[in-house]
Amino acid sequence: MRSWLLLLVMLPVCAHAWVLPGVGNFKFEKLAKNVYVMHGPLALPNKENKGFMNNPGIIVGDKGIVLIDPGSTYQVGKHVLKEMALISNKPVVAVFNTHIHGDHWLGNHAVKEAYPKVKIFGHKKMISMANDQAGLQWLDIMSQLTGGASKGTKLVVPKNESKHKDKLIFAGQHFKIHSMNPAHTSTDIMIEHVESKTLFMGDNSFNKRMGRFDNTSSMHGSIKVLQYVKNLGMKIFVPGHGKSGKYDVAVKPFLDYLLTLQKTVRAGYKRSLENYEIKSVAIKQLSAYKDWSGFDESIGKHVSKMFLEIEVLDF
């Protein structure tokens, strides 16, 4: 009898959420009127999470839905759409891709298949890169990391360009684009939903996980962006990874991380310390972040990246 009661208790959760065994249950959470986010796992794409790790968002308008970052593969995109249908059966009329990293936009394939007339937006440089080699590279990366779980995913690259201060209206809902590059990448856009004062930040902000900084990124640019958004009057901030919330919850911790890293590396640079020497100091200075996903793998890379930028700027 107890086992049956337990099953009955568990059924509502499983029936209304995407279940990834050993990873968690994922569904859209309401953040504000008409605004929902599915907070993905914090780990890098792998066989267990099927490549899913980002925070897809939806805004439900009068006659349609705006979808932000539909995920990393065709299969993930299908699950995102399935969970979206539990919120509303309205069609997706627009998609925004926040930047070039494939974990955020390869799910476009599933959206375009379901809604052929959908308009997909991205930064001009993202569109160019995705149509060149970066798109194919991300298909390969996702296939390797997930052990083939992304099989069948096709490139569906945005065709509509978004730039800083663009204003758009979809399904009666108003949006404004914020783009200050380079930051996380040289292709970033952030999407403001005007009615709810919600800012979808893409990977300009992280919560409880470390960020990736490649050769198109700028840590100093990221600091400027995180300081810039504080003055936008937003109520809710949606990071690319990790839980959403007010500025002090979803933005300030990562900004503080970068500022502390900057201060620590700058001091080491002035003392002519080697990277490994600065790293040992940085680990102590940033001990509050040791439990953030990817900290051990990222801290050395972050020290090196910050060192190179400071060396160029010659503080």
3-state helix, strand, coil in the chain (%, to 5): 40, 20, 40
pLDDT of res. 314: 78
Cα–Cα distance, 142 to 136 (Å, whole number): 10
The residue among 203, 226, 248 that closes a domain is 248
Q: Is residue 6 part of a domain?
A: no
pLDDT of res. 279: 97
Q: Is residue 238 part of a domain?
A: yes
Q: Is 255 found in the same domain as 237?
A: no
Q: What is the CATH number of the domain that holds 27?
A: 3.60.15.30
Q: Which residues pair with 66 in a beta bridge?
A: 59, 94
Query: Rounded to two decimals, what is the model's pTM?
Result: 0.94
- Provide the residue type at 298 as one letter: S
Q: Quick one: which of 34, 101, 43, 45 has its CA closest to 76?
A: 45
- Provide the residue type at 166 as one letter: D
Cβ-count burial of 57 within 10 angstroms (0-12 exposed, 13-18 middle, 19+ buried)?
Answer: buried
User: What is the separation, in whole angstroms, between the first and last Cα of the chain?
Assistant: 70
The residue among 248, 269, 285 that closes a domain is 248
Q: Is 129 found in the same domain as 28?
A: yes
pLDDT of res. 190: 98
| Residues sharing a CB contact under 8 Å with residue 105, sequence separation 6 or more, in sequence order | 69, 70, 97, 98, 122, 130, 158
Note down pLDDT in tens along the chain; length 315 residues: 444 444 444 444 445 799 999 999 999 999 999 999 999 999 999 999 999 999 999 999 999 999 999 999 999 999 999 999 999 999 999 999 999 999 999 999 999 999 999 999 999 999 999 999 999 999 999 999 999 999 999 999 999 999 999 999 999 999 999 999 999 999 999 999 999 999 999 999 999 999 999 989 999 999 999 999 999 999 999 999 999 999 999 999 999 999 999 999 999 999 999 999 999 999 999 999 999 999 999 999 999 999 999 999 875
Q: Is 102 found in the same domain as 44?
A: yes
pLDDT of res. 202: 98
Side-chain-side CA neighbours of 173 within 13 Å: the count stands at 26
Q: Is 287 found in the same domain as 157?
A: no
Q: Is 147 found in the same domain as 38?
A: yes
Region of 161 on the Ramachandran plot (φ > 0 left; ψ -120 to 50 alpha; else beta): beta
pLDDT of res. 315: 54
pLDDT of res. 16: 78
Q: Is 263 found in the same domain as 243?
A: no
Question: Token pair 């309205």 is at which residue?
Answer: 90
Q: Which residues pair with 206 in a beta bridge?
A: 241
Q: Is residue 5 part of a domain?
A: no
Cα–Cα distance, 43 to 46 (Å, whole number): 8
Q: Is residue 239 part of a domain?
A: yes
Q: Is 155 found in the same domain as 217?
A: yes
Cβ-count burial of 103 within 10 angstroms (0-12 exposed, 13-18 middle, 19+ buried)?
Answer: buried
pLDDT of res. 8: 41
Q: Is 183 found in the same domain as 261?
A: no
Total tally of structural domains belonging to the chain: 2
Do the Cβ atoms of 244 and 208 come closer than 8 Å? no
Tell me which residue range forms the domain holding 300.
Answer: 251-315
Q: Is 151 found in the same domain as 116?
A: yes
The residue among 208, 232, 248 that closes a domain is 248
Cα–Cα distance, 230 to 251 (Å, whole number): 9
Q: Is residue 2 part of a domain?
A: no
Q: Is 212 found in the same domain as 127?
A: yes
Cα 158 to Cα 31, 202, 206, 270: the distances in Å are 26, 16, 24, 44
pLDDT of res. 15: 56
SS3 per residue for 99-112: CCCHHHHCCHHHHH
Q: Is 142 found in the same domain as 35?
A: yes
Q: Is residue 60 part of a domain?
A: yes
Cα 226 to Cα 117, 214, 215: the distances in Å are 34, 18, 20
What letters, b where the CB count within 10 A reaches 16 and e where it falls short, cover 192-225?
bbebbebbbbbbbbbbbbbbbbeebbbbbbbbeb
Q: Is 81 found in the same domain as 185?
A: yes
